[in-house]
Chains A and B, each alone.
Chain A
Amino acid sequence: MKHETPMMSGIEWLSASEIADAVHARKLSAFDVTNQALARIQGVGATLNAFTDVVSERARANARRIDVLIAGGGKPGPLAGVPFAVKNLFDVAGLPTRAGSKINRQRVPASNDATLIERMEAAGAILVGALNMGEYAYDFTGENVHDGPSRNPHDLTRMSGGSSGGSGSAVGGGLVPLALGSDTNGSIRVPSSFCGIFGLKPTYGRLSRGRTFPFVASLDHLGPFARSTRDLALAYDAMQGPDAQDAACVDREIEPVTSLLPKGVDGLRIALADGYFKKNLSPESSEAVLRVAKALSVTAEIEIPEAARARAAAYVITASEGASLHLERLRTRPQDFDPAVRDRLLAGAMVPSVFIDRAQKFRRWYRAQMLELFKNVDVILAPATPCVAPKIGQTTFMLDGEELPLRPNIGIYTQPISFIGLPVVAVPVPLDPMPVGVQVIAAPWREDIALRVAYALEQARVVNALRPKDI
């Protein structure tokens, strides 16, 4: 398959695909690539504040092993020598899994890596560290009172988005070409949008959550970030497969997508989400969606029924399950939480159970409605965020002349989609001065279709992970 021409010079801006090809061909050593990444993490990385842990010795040892394997004629896998990092809710052997919290850093260090780390390394990728995140993933900003905020690589005064803030910042800032994050209500798609990169939230149950710290069992997904669609697909393919460690991970055959990317969009029925998804949009978010729709020659619009209620139900389920998960910690160590997270969780514990049951019943109804829609459409386009990345510390934003609270509203377009676990690729539209994302949404288990659309948009240069100007 022909690869995209590199947009930037310097090893740090090479794609995962380019690195793997060069390492396989012995034009680059995995060791040199790893050292370059580690040096950049110490340099620019300190400014971005994307990393909370760096595993230099492990990374160098694994890189040497890859180089020795290749020199001996062995096959290290499609991600040979590619540095990657993971949100710090993933278990990394030897580290306490902090999940963005103060409390968790006193946990016993993990004895084993998370399943997805094992699979990435089996494909030859090199883990270099763990990434900053919003406390316990109850966050859309990427700010963290214990570890400081992850910064947006396009404007260091702006938020990365969250809760996978470090993941967005690290990939967007050229620290690593691949990162892993989680998405419960938008935590992959929001940082992808704000940091101007690609993110994949797969179908609920597609990728194993084995050996990661949870948030909301009903809604938690894991997925990759990258600066190209091909890289996203490569990582996704490496990580697929059943896992008994995760009760929600389906026993489904691996369905590789990377070779399917060039199939294009001919014959795909694509529509623009109407109604709820057109309200409260900033001019930038609106422009981004329109550009993507125009590039795909999309004129059809589709109304997603009861999207506002779906968002509300996701909110209620999140509040309740999050509170239940943390109840003992709220009893014994309330002072060690981020107060903003603590008070949300405490409130969540007090929601009457009848409302939770109702939300789960509504979820089944809503799922049926969406599956019905997907009988007549293959892809739905929707904004990822209502605005470009706000300033770090900002608490409100202006929409249609009205001042609205920021945090609860960042996820208004992502929540109704993850609520029923539809696969989404967040694609970056390179507006100036700040990028913003669009959601490419497909039917359950059709990540291939969402990625094909993203790839076509990327080939047409409508979506693009631009290199930040100042980093």
Chain B
Amino acid sequence: MSSSGSSDAYIDAAANVLGLSIEDSWKRAIRANLDVTLKLARLVHEFPLPDEAEPATIYEA
């Protein structure tokens, strides 16, 4: 996956893995939404956190 965004090939592969049937007419909107989400995800991912960072939710047995 290029750093500039997703691709139809990625959407097709992910849909296959997830068991989703995607109409061709939906792909443009899916790709636009995915590109926005990935851009925001990368913004979060760039923020340096130590290896020891815990997720927000802590499970209790």
Chain A interface (Cβ < 8 Å from any Cβ of B)? 218, 306, 308-309, 311-313, 315-316, 319, 327, 330-331, 334, 339-340, 342-344, 346-352, 354-355, 357-365, 367, 408
Contacts and interface: CB of A to CB of B under 8 A. Distances in A.
Contacts of B49: 358, 361-362, 365
B37 to A, nearest CB: 5
A434 B10 CA distance: 44
Nearest to A327: B18
Given A342-B26, A351-B34, A361-B55, 14 more contacts: A218-B56, A312-B41, A313-B44, A315-B40, A319-B33, A346-B30, A349-B20, A350-B34, A351-B38, A360-B55, A361-B49, A361-B56, A362-B47, A364-B55
A347 B30 contact: yes
B21 to A, nearest CB: 7
Contacts of A313: 40, 44
15 contacts: A218-B56, A312-B40, A316-B44, A331-B20, A342-B26, A343-B29, A346-B20, A346-B30, A347-B34, A350-B10, A350-B34, A352-B41, A355-B45, A357-B55, A358-B41
B43 interface: yes
B33 A344 contact: yes
B47 A348 contact: no
A340 B30 CA distance: 9
A350 B47 contact: no
Contact of B37 (A331, A348, A361): A348
Given A346-B30, A359-B41, A363-B55, A309 B47 contact: yes
Interface residues of B, number: 32
Given A346-B30, A355-B41, A365 B18 contact: no
B33 to A, nearest CB: 4
Contacts of A343: 26, 29-30, 33
Interface string B11-36: 10011001111100010011101101
Which of B20, B38, B56 is the most central at the interface, judged by chain A CB atoms within 10 Å of its CB?
B56
Contacts of B33: 319, 343-344, 346-348
Contacts of B10: 350
Contact of A364 (B30, B44, B56): B56
Nearest to B41: A355
Contact of B11 (A319, A350, A359): A350
A362 B57 CA distance: 11
B41 A360 contact: no
B41 A367 contact: no
Which of A319, A343, A360 is the most central at the interface, judged by chain B CB atoms within 10 Å of its CB?
A343
Contacts of A361: 49, 53-56
A339 B29 contact: yes
A350 B43 contact: no
A7 B22 CA distance: 54
B6 A350 contact: yes
Contacts of A357: 55
B22 A346 contact: yes
Given A316-B37, A327-B18, A358 B44 contact: yes
Which of B30, B34, B41 is the most central at the interface, judged by chain A CB atoms within 10 Å of its CB?
B41
A340 B29 CA distance: 8
